[in-house]
């Protein structure tokens, strides 16, 4: 089977970080690879405008020290090209791909070994794999790190918040609503008994992470569920970032005294390349806005009834009772749903 392959290797930390992010991000999110022209198959860049939507297999190349020819290629994930751009200023091809399933693919014809974004031939037995098996394949190339994989962000009804691609920022964002509660499902792996932890970070004025933070694991594999509370802010729409950062164990006693001490730029900068982020687009909920407007209308009607000087025909106290009911419903609703006092 002929397929486009995107290779990243252990030659540089940046290349390893690209694979780490490929392992970490959820299905539907984007990963960004960059290649010099000499490393791209001419059959691909000559037809660059037709490449959008093409399937890609992402591989991690081990033992790439610039001398050793016996390279080892480990398949990671299936993806689709969402953007394929050429930069005249840096003379680089920028390939952005929508991530799909983890795969176990075997190369039967690698083609030109000097190319890293090219057509290859794989056996017809390429099959779905899981995240754990891919971590086991590459863990020795990341001896100091813990691994994680974002399963998704889920709303209070258990529905996944699907990533949406922004062609301007060339990345994905997740729409969440003010005043709502979500759950972040992540998988954590510590196959090498690393002492490092996973720090979740966001602006506390917008997002409350209701979980022990940083996240650590003394077992090889685990599933973690993190409640996220989105605060109500006076904006129709704005963006924030949820970041996942690998940090060292550090001084546990000082962590209790210094809030967000691990997020300081001076700490653990050696793993900055491995930081993963998700853009959260915080929006007002249309249903909540409509409910607020409806309750305000009830309050207005109550005031209208009480101010009406026309005598009641049916019952002299009907206006008072009706007004009281409307005021009760509107004020109770405004306080309960919107904390308006």
Enclosing H/E stretch for 94: strand 92-104
State the sign of the Cα–Cα–Cα–Cα dihedral 269, 270, 273, 275. Answer: negative
Query: What pLDDT, on the 0 to 100 scale, is given for residue 291?
Result: 60
Alpha carbon distance 17, 31 (integer Å): 11
Query: What pLDDT, on the 0 to 100 scale, is given for residue 319?
Result: 63
Burial of 291 (0-12, 13-18, 19+ CB in 10 A): middle
Query: What pLDDT, on the 0 to 100 scale, is given for residue 254?
Result: 40
Q: Where are the alpha helices (DSSP H) in the chain?
A: 13-24, 42-45, 131-138, 252-255, 286-307, 318-338
* DSSP of 211-274: S-SSB--SSSEEEEEEEEEEPP-S-SEEEEEEEEEEE----HHHHTTSTTGGGSTTSSGGGGGG
Dihedral of the alpha carbons of 117, 56, 127, 193, in degrees to the nearest 10: 70
Query: What pLDDT, on the 0 to 100 scale, is given for residue 94?
Result: 97
For residue 223, whether the previous peptide bond is cis, meaning omega lies within 30 degrees of 0, is: no
Query: What pLDDT, on the 0 to 100 scale, is given for residue 258?
Result: 41
> In 10 A of CB 279, how many CB atoms?
16
What φ, ψ does residue 127 adopt, rounded to 5°? Answer: -135, 160
Identify the three-state secondary structure at position 332: helix
Alpha carbon distance 169, 155 (integer Å): 25
Longest dimension (CA), the chain: 99
pLDDT of the chain, 341 residues: tens digit per residue? 899 999 999 999 999 999 999 999 999 999 999 999 999 999 999 999 999 999 999 999 998 666 666 789 999 999 999 999 999 999 999 999 999 999 999 999 999 999 999 999 998 766 778 999 999 999 999 988 899 999 999 999 999 999 999 999 999 999 999 889 999 999 999 998 888 999 999 988 889 999 999 998 888 999 999 999 998 776 667 889 999 999 987 634 344 444 444 444 435 556 889 999 999 999 876 566 566 566 566 666 666 666 655 655 555 566 667 666 766 666 666 555 655 55
In the chain, % helix, strand, coil (3-state, to 5) comes to: 25, 40, 35
State the sign of the Cα–Cα–Cα–Cα dihedral 255, 276, 176, 186. Answer: negative
Rounded to an integer, what is the distance from CA 126 to the centroid of its chain?
27
């Amino acid at each position: 089977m002929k397929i486009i392959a995107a290779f990243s290797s252990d030659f540089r930390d940046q290349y390893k970080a690209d694979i780490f992010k490929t392992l970490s991000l959820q299905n539907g999110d984007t990963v960004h690879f960059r290649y010099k022209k000499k490393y791209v198959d001419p059959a691909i860049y000559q037809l660059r405008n037709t490449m959008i939507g093409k399937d890609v297999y992402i591989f991690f190349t081990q033992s790439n020290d610039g001398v050793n020819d016996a390279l080892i290629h480990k398949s990671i994930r299936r993806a689709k090209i969402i953007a394929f751009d050429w930069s005249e200023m840096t003379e680089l091809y920028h390939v952005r791909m929508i991530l799909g399933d983890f795969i176990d693919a075997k190369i039967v014809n690698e083609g030109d070994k000097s190319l890293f974004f090219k057509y290859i031939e794989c056996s017809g037995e390429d099959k779905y794999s899981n995240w754990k098996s891919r971590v086991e394949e590459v863990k020795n190339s990341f001896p100091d790190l813990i691994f994680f994989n974002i399963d998704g962000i889920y709303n209070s009804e258990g529905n996944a918040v699907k990533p949406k691609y922004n062609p301007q920022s060339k990345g994905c964002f997740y729409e969440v609503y003010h005043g709502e509660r979500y759950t972040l499902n992540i998988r954590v792996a510590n196959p090498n008994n690393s002492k490092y932890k996973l720090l979740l970070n966001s602006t506390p004025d917008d997002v409350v992470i209701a979980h022990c933070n940083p996240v650590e694991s003394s077992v090889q594999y685990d599933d973690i569920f993190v409640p996220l509370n989105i605060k109500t802010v006076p904006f129709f729409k704005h963006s924030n970032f949820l970041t996942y950062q690998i940090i060292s164990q550090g001084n546990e006693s000082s962590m209790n005294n210094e809030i967000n001490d691990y997020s300081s730029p001076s700490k653990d900068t050696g793993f900055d390349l491995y930081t993963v982020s998700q853009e959260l687009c915080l929006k007002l909920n249309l249903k909540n806005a409509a409910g607020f407007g409806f309750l305000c209308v009830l309050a207005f009607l109550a005031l209208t009834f009480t101010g009406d000087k026309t005598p009641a025909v049916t019952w002299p106290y009907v206006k008072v009772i009706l007004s009281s009911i409307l005021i009760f419903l509107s004020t109770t609703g405004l306080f309960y749903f919107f904390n308006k006092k």
